[in-house]
Each structure stands twice: as C-alpha cells, then as structure tokens.
Structure 1
Amino acid sequence: MADPIKKVTLSGGRVRYRFVVDVGYEPKKDRTTGDVLTNPETGEPVLQRKQLTVTKDTRKEALAEFARIQHQKASGTFVIPSKTTVAELVDMWLKAATRDVERATARSYEDAMRYVRTHLGHKLLQELSEDDVDSLVDWMLTSARRIGGKPGTGLSVRTVSLTLGRLRAALNLAIRRGLVGRNVAEHTVIPRQARKDDKARKRARTPWIEDEVKAFLAHCAGDRLYAVMLLSLIGMRPAEVCGVRWSDVDLEAGTIRVEATRTLVAGEVIEKDTKSEAGERWLPLPTVVLQALRAFRARQATEKLKAGQGYEASGRVVVDELGRAVKTDWLRRRAYERMQSASVRKVRLYDARHACLSWMANNGVPDTVVSAWAGHSDLGFTKRTYVHPDPQSLKAGSEKLAELLG
C-alpha cells in the first residue's frame, strides 16, 4: 500500500503533511448550473466519491488522524467534519418535526427550542458537549424566563424537561444524518434539588376547598357570566369552555357535549378537537348549571335584539355582549376579576377543574366515573394529577377512624 501521507511545502517554505481519504458518496452537480445530475434512464442522482483532505503539522499527527478516520469508517462511527451550528440543527429538526402536526403542537416545539437557540445556537454542532447541555439546563432553571412571570427568573422543571427532550430528539436526527457521532444530551438530568423545589411549589398551589367554591359561586349568582363560571367548575378545561357551542347543549335533556376546544397560541386563535378521544364526551348537567345556561341563553337573545346589526352570531355559548366568541385569556381575566371581588383565594382555572374532580373523588364517586368526566383515558393519571385530599375529606376519614378506635 502506498504511503497515504504526502509532504507538502507551502509558499512560505513551511512544511506540512497531508492525506486525502474517501468518506462516502455525494450527488454530482453540474459545474455551470450547480444542478444535481441525474441518470437519464432511472432518474436517480449521479453519485461521485466524497473526499476529505486533512493537513497536519507533523507526520506523526497526520498518521494518527489517518488511523483514527480509517478505524471509525470501519466501525461505522465516522462523522464528516461540518460547520453546522446548533441553531441550524434546530431549524432542521423543526422543519422535520412540525411537518404533520397541529399548529399548537408546532408552536410548543418552537417555544421549547427557542431556549436552545438562545443559549447554544452560536456553537458548532460538532463541538457541543455534555457540559454545554448542563449549562443550558442550569440557565433555564435560574434565569431564562422572559415572559409569563418576572424576567430573569427560572423556568419550571416541566418546561426544562420538555426542552431537554426536544434537544435529544434533534440530536438523534443529527446522528441519523451523519452530523454527529453521539447524543451529548442523552444522559443529562435535571438536578434533584430543582425537582424537589418544583414539587414544593406545586404543593403550595392547592385547589379551592368546598367552602371557597361555594363563596365564589354565591358572589357570582347574579352575574352575567354565572353559567360560564359554573362550566369552569364542573371539570371542563378552559379551552373546552370557550369551544362549546349551543348546538352542543341540550337544554331539554340537560346534557352538554364536549368535543372542541378554542384557545390562543402565540396570538393566533386555534380551534380543534379535544386533546384525546377520551376528551370527547357527553356530560349530564347538574340542575343548577342547566338553569344558569337557560338564563344565559335568554340573556343572549335580549343582547342580540339590543345590538341589532352589530351582533355577531358566533353560535358559541361563551360570548361577549356582542355575541363574539372569546379566547381562554379573556375567560381567565373575567374569572380573576370575580375572584378578587368575591375576596376568595386566586387560583388558576385549571385548579378550579382540580377542585371539581377532587370533590367528586373524595365524596364517593367511582374512580372510573371521575376519569371519564375529566376526559381522561388513563385512570391513574386522573388520580395522580387531579385528585387532592381536602380538609373535609380528611375529617371524614378521622370520623371513620373514631368509629373503629372507639
């Protein structure tokens, strides 16, 4: 075998050592137009050898690099040097990952990868290390927040975990496309203390207890949005409340069909089906909710007559005074205003949903019914996530123990 290392003398007299090695094949292009040449019979691209030229300062270095490349080629682990940056990989992955998903899902991918682009986007992909990924995690946990809270503070463990998962997926794509040899985010973990602190914050965010629900509803009893607040307190998601139409409500049979959602994603209104097949469900309406919906329907008819041509008949249950469909941010603001005027503890509307499901579970409703009511296919998920023991249910447990202990 001929010596692969060639001695070269540069114009300034400097001596270096160079070798050329085949590293695969690539489509052959027309030298004039740059177009990929194809076989006229098969239509397949015409391939040509792809070669890598390596130059080192010493013969020893050149021989070592040549041996390394040959070994990696034989074992299938060789990666052609590339100037691709992390930001370019993010673009590449987003293009592939969002090709056939809903807009809301695509937006969630974009949001997750925005942190990667900001913190690591400038780095060459092949220089990305495990330390860099650890640095991303630490930055997100301590100071990456820009919206949705105080700028410069840390993000939730859930947000960090989602971003880490998307980065791993992007790096797997880079492996498949021969850009890197391994996934440097594969073994990155979120620090245990951060997880403990996050759990403590979640425990502090407790749903309403029965007395708080009753105080809030008593305050809202004469309110235009009384029926809307009730829908938020029977276990429907905010996006489901905003998505329901009057055609989904049977005021005679006393039922409501949950099959659509309406929410806001990055300033864009998104209307779609429920989160899952189990999310599409029929719910029998409690009497108080049914009566409130009948009153709200009649009120909307009066508002329509009063507004005349200015009324927009959207067909939604939850609308403003001019009949216009609303979004989840509109619903949240109205709910928070009423919580403040009712002098009750401010909770997220999702926590109001938790309160409903917890009350049902803690008052003898079978687990399967609670899960179906919530629109979940996983009974265990409902119990782990949505069912919280409240003071009243714990007191009932104490009374039962008293019977046993005498």
Structure 2
Amino acid sequence: MVDVGAHPSTGKRRQVTRTFGTLREAKAEYAHITHRRYEAAAVPFDARSLDEWLDEWLARKAEDLEESTVYSYTMTLGRLRGMLGRIRLQDLAEDDVEAWMKWALREGRVRGGKAGTGLGVASVEMSLARLKEALDRAVARRLVEVNVAREVKVPRNHRKAERRAKTVIPPWNLQEVRAFVDAVKADRLYAAFLLSLMGLRPAEICGIRWADIDLDRATLTVHRTRTLMGNKVVVEKDTKSLAGERRLPLPDLVGDALAGFKAAQVTEKLDAGERYEDNEYVLVDGLGRALNGRQLRERAYTVMAENSLRRVRLYDARASCFTYLANKGVPDHLLARWAGHTDVRTTKRWYVKPDVEDLRPAAATWGELASVPPPLSE
C-alpha cells in the first residue's frame, strides 16, 4: 500500500493497493509507484482541466484529420468528459480512469440505445484509446509526468462475457445473395445494390459520379466518398486511404444495370424539367437529388422486408463478396486491391467469413484422408 496524494475534489488521502505473489514483486512495484509520484512533483503546476486539455488537443489534431474523423473523436471523448472532464489534468489518476471504465461498462450509455445501460467493449476501448493518445501528448509537452490511462484495460472476463451474449449476424450466403438480386431486379436502385454486392462501401457508392464510370471499357473508378456524419450532415471527401483509390472492372451484369439506370435518369430529367438537379452523381432520386448512405440502406431494408429476406447490414455485402471471391481462388493481392485495402490481412480478417457450407469442400478432402482405399484387383 502506498500514498499517491490527496483527492482533487475532497482533499482526502488516497492510497493504492496492489497484491503480488512475492515480496520481491511487491517491492519493485512500490518503488515504481513512488518514483512516479516524486517525478510528477517536479512537473510545473498547470491549472487546466482535462476538458481544457482535450479541447486544445482536438484543435491541434483537427489540422491533420478529416472532418468526419474529428467528429468521431469528439463524440468518443464526450463519453468520459462528464465524469473526468472537470478534474485538473495533473490531478487525474489511474483510479479515476478505471472508475470511469467500470461505470461506462455498467451504465454509461446515453445515446444510440437504452439510456443507463452499459456501453459495448469496443466503444469503451475507443474512448480509452483516444484518452491515452491525448495524455501521451500531454506527457510530451511536460504537462504531466506519466500517462495515467496507459495500463487501464477492459477486463478480459467482461470481454468474454460480451462475446458470449452478443448475437452475431452472419453476412448473406450465396443463395441469399441471389435471392436479393432477384428481388431488386425491378427496383430503381438495382444498379446501386449490385455495386454493394461488388464489395463497394455505401459511402463510395454515394460518391460516384457518371464521369467515374466508363461503360465502353467496363471500368469504374473509386476516388471519393460521401459520408453521413452524425446521421445528419453529408461530408464529401477522399477515400478512406490511398489504397481506397482504385479502378475496378465492371461485370457485365453491373455494366448493363448502370447503363439502364443512366438511360432512366435521362427520361426523369426530361420529365422533371427545371425541377431537376443536375449534379452528375450516379446515386440520385427521380429529381436528380443526391442520395446518402442512410437512404440507400433504408431502401435495401424495405426490399428485404417485402421479400422475406434475412435482414443484414448493406455494408456486410462486402463480406459476402470477398468470401465468395476468396473461395473461388482469387489471389490475395487481387482481393486486397478489389477491397481497397493496403494489406490483404485486413481483407481476410474482417471480410472473408466462410460458413459451414463453404467448408464442405474441406470436409470432402478430409474424407479422402480417412477413407480406406479399395483392395487392388488381382
């Protein structure tokens, strides 16, 4: 047990207790904690609160981040400001961060679900990651001596419990994909849905203009996205990474659907006259107004419901696409290029999700190993 100073709000003495298997380990940790305490005493006094430092840090980060990323950082850090924001930066302790983490897992949800329930592990870890990044910068600026959030982690048991309780919705299998294609053949957004099944992100589909499509050469260029920020504001920006800028071949089915969609838009423009908004986007409504990712998803969910199809996220069409391509033997470097990833390990980890039927060929191959060969004929 070791003293770590007074609590910033109550002035009460604070102590840290750690338990170890040996006296040697306990002495080493005691020396480590006291050394950190004495080092911290050498840092010049600074009155700013954690809230004030996070504002300053975010303002600096904003110069190097996309607008939507800044928004994400702001919302992520907002989860912990209520409990920790008023604490003076130099008074923030590991116990404070750990107390927030436990509270967040237990009852920290205020939006995006039932208020007062626990946040998911991924959300808590994201907030901790941003806090650790901000505190690392504070250490570099000599505002604090150590990053008190560095060793705070979501308990393994909690992580495992969430995994057991969570319902995992697998992406569509081959039969479900074909049923969806058959259901949307007559839909106005048929071409856009086929682009989803080609593995394009919804934000990429929303950002495509007709100038990006060469129907004669059957190619499509992806180099911008239109993202819905905060489910309200549409932000147009470059692709997620340099690897996201790519040129893809158009399968005949998709090329024909796009040609039909383009012809339909010409007719719609003539019918609408001056009311038509000619903005050159591919994904538009009957008056030429650009559609966003939420509108595309909502239409997809309507089609699923009307045709009694299992509801999955439209984004998960990427997994259906890349699982099928991987099963068909498409080489890793081509798979990553198609997905817009720098590293094929990203594609395989997150988007190649074989189901039990995909494993049937492996079972048949195993059967050859265990089968007793027939006796040789004399």
Provide Cα deviations, 1:169-221, integer angstroms capped at 9, x if missing partner.
Answer: 22223333443222110111111123224544677121111111111111111
> Between the two proteins, what is the percent identity of the paired residues?
47
Contact kept, 8 Å, 1:358 with 1:387, in 2: the verdict is yes
In our comparison, the structure showing a higher alpha carbon Rg is 1
> Does 2:187 align with 1:223?
yes
SS at 2:358 equivalent:
helix
What is the CA–CA distance in structure 2 between the aligned matches of 1:334 and 1:354, rounded to whole Å?
20
What is the CA–CA distance in structure 1 between the aligned matches of 2:145 and 2:39, rounded to whole Å?
12
Q: CA deviation at 1:242?
A: 0.5
What is the CA–CA distance in structure 1 between the aligned matches of 2:83 and 2:353, rounded to whole Å?
38
Q: Is there any run of 5+ residues in structure 2 with no aligned partner, and where?
A: 1-34, 372-378
Q: Which has the higher helix share?
A: 2
> Does 2:82 align with 1:122?
no
SS at 1:136 equivalent:
helix
Provide Cα deviations, 1:341-399, integer angstroms capped at 9, x if missing partner.
Answer: 12111111221111111111112222222111101011111111111112331112222
Equivalent position of 1:288 in the other structure = 253
SS at 2:270 equivalent:
helix
Contact kept, 8 Å, 1:227 with 1:296, in 2: the verdict is yes
Contact kept, 8 Å, 2:40 with 2:146, in 1: the verdict is no
2:240 to 275, 287, 294: 275
Contact kept, 8 Å, 2:40 with 2:145, in 1: the verdict is no
2:48 to 53, 78, 84: 84
2:202 to 221, 238, 263: 238
Q: How many residues matched? A: 336
**TM-score, normalised relative to structure 2:** 0.83
Pairs within 5 Å for 1:350-365: 350-365=315-330
Contact kept, 8 Å, 2:40 with 2:144, in 1: the verdict is no
Provide Cα deviations, 1:228-286, integer angstroms capped at 9, x if missing partner.
Answer: 11111110001001011111111111111111100111332211111111111111111
Structure having greater relative contact order (Cα 8 Å, sep ≥ 6): 2
What is the CA–CA distance in structure 2 between the aligned matches of 1:201 and 1:290, rounded to whole Å?
43
Give the letter aligned to residue 158 of structure 1: A
What is the CA–CA distance in structure 1 between the aligned matches of 2:164 and 2:298, rounded to whole Å?
26
Provide Cα deviations, 1:88-125, integer angstroms capped at 9, x if missing partner.
Answer: 12212112221232211211111111112122112222
1:257 to 206, 211, 221: 221
Contact kept, 8 Å, 1:363 with 1:393, in 2: the verdict is no
Equivalent position of 2:135 in the other structure = 171
Contact kept, 8 Å, 1:257 with 1:280, in 2: the verdict is yes
Equivalent position of 2:24 in the other structure = none
Contact kept, 8 Å, 2:213 with 2:220, in 1: the verdict is yes
Give the letter aligned to residue 393 of structure 1: D
What is the CA–CA distance in structure 1 between the aligned matches of 2:307 and 2:206, rounded to whole Å?
23
Give the letter aligned to residue 272 of structure 1: K
Pairs within 5 Å for 1:190-229: 190-200=154-164, 204-229=168-193
1:382 to 334, 347, 352: 347
1:107 to 53, 67, 71: 71
Contact kept, 8 Å, 1:90 with 1:117, in 2: the verdict is no
SS at 1:392 equivalent:
coil
**Alpha carbons of structure 1 residues 388 and 96: separation in structure 2 relative to 1, 3 Å:** same
What is the CA–CA distance in structure 2 between the aligned matches of 1:75 and 1:286, rounded to whole Å?
64
Q: CA deviation at 1:224?
A: 0.7
Considering only aligned residues, what root-mean-square deviation do their CA atoms show, in Å?
Answer: 2.2
Equivalent position of 1:187 in the other structure = 151
2:105 to 127, 131, 141: 141
What is the CA–CA distance in structure 2 between the aligned matches of 1:277 and 1:166, rounded to whole Å?
24
Provide Cα deviations, 1:289-329, integer angstroms capped at 9, x if missing partner.
Answer: 11111111111111111111001111111111111111111
